[in-house]
Amino acid sequence: MSTLSSSEALEAKQRGQRVKATPASTPRRATAARLVPLLGLFIFVMVWHLLSLRYPPFILPGPASVARRFAEKVADGSLIVHALTTLSEAIPGLILGTLAAFALGLPIAKSRLADRLLSPFIIASQGVPFVAVAPLLFIWFGSGLTTKILVCALIVFFPIVINVIAGLRSVPPVLRDLFRSLNATPAETFFKLELPAALPFIFAGLRVGGTLSMVGAIAGEFLSADRGLGFMINLGNGLYDTSLVIAGVLTIVMIALGIYGTVRLAERALRVERWAT
């Protein structure tokens, strides 16, 4: 009995040590998780630097050369102007595409007739190459800001509308029956049941659409623009200024990550994750 008691006491002590060690290890794991992206970035820069040593600068400039070109453009203010121009196209395009996605997604999710009528056109719109449609928009609407916003809206529309439809259809039938039994109005059902249940899907679509909005803005600037990051990249390409091209591309990536992060912060602020379960 004494031997058994001693072994039980030792096992209990070890369990207590494990329990005490768990909270202490959690901050270390969180710190390690934050360092992983930095490690990945460091490896990327090192690989880039090593590859740049094998090629001339006009083919693949090194990170230091691109950083100097980036700093020059920030110092003279041109990079900020180009970035703000692209943002002035991407953000309104994202908003317009989101509004259009809701305008079509709601009837498609609620009506079988609307689904059969509109879904083929939405799917067909994704089968047409964008490079074939964009020139038509510039012919019809000109080469101004409006056309570039429309280009962004068309690109972000599809992933958002698909998520809106999927989110509204994800409501369990039992909950719908419950709201009917409580004599809830259609507006009450939408705002208190359907919209909260669809929020995780909608924000997932917004994260994808937010990054695609930059693609739409740059595509529009490639076709016709006198400013913007797409114009700057075209300019660098024409001058064989590869450092400028890469600096523009990295700026686009940073802005896209910023849009993605903003949507993610809004999602957390609204505590959307609780509706996913």
Residue 35, pLDDT above cutoff 50: yes
Q: Record the tokens describing residue 78, joined without a space.
A: 């041109």
Mean pLDDT score of the chain:
83
Average pLDDT of the segment spanning 26-42: 75
More confident residue, 10 or 58: 58
User: What percent of the chain clears pLDDT 90, i.e. is strictly above it?
Assistant: 29
Instruction: Note the pLDDT of residue 10.
Output: 44
Average pLDDT of the segment spanning 192-202: 88
Residue 184's SS3 state is coil
pLDDT tens digit sequence for 59-74:
888 899 999 999 999 9
Tokens 């060690």 -> residue: 21
Residue 4: pLDDT band with limits 50, 70, 90: very low
Q: Residue 12 contacts by C-beta under 8 Å, 6 or more apart in sequence?
A: none
The CA angle 89-65-244, to the nearest 5 degrees, is 30
Instruction: Note the pLDDT of residue 84.
Output: 94
pLDDT tens digit sequence for 81-97:
999 999 999 999 999 99
Q: Residue 108 contacts by C-beta under 8 Å, 6 or more apart in sequence?
A: 114, 115, 118, 119, 122, 161, 165
Instruction: Note the pLDDT of residue 274.
Output: 61
Cβ neighbours of 105 (radius 10 Å): 28
Tokens 């909005």 -> residue: 213
Instruction: Note the pLDDT of residue 36.
Output: 75
Q: What is the model's pTM?
A: 0.79
At 127, phi and psi to the nearest 5?
Answer: -85, -15
Q: Record the tokens describing residue 133, joined without a space.
A: 């449609």
Alpha-carbon distance of 140 to 159, in angstroms, equals 25
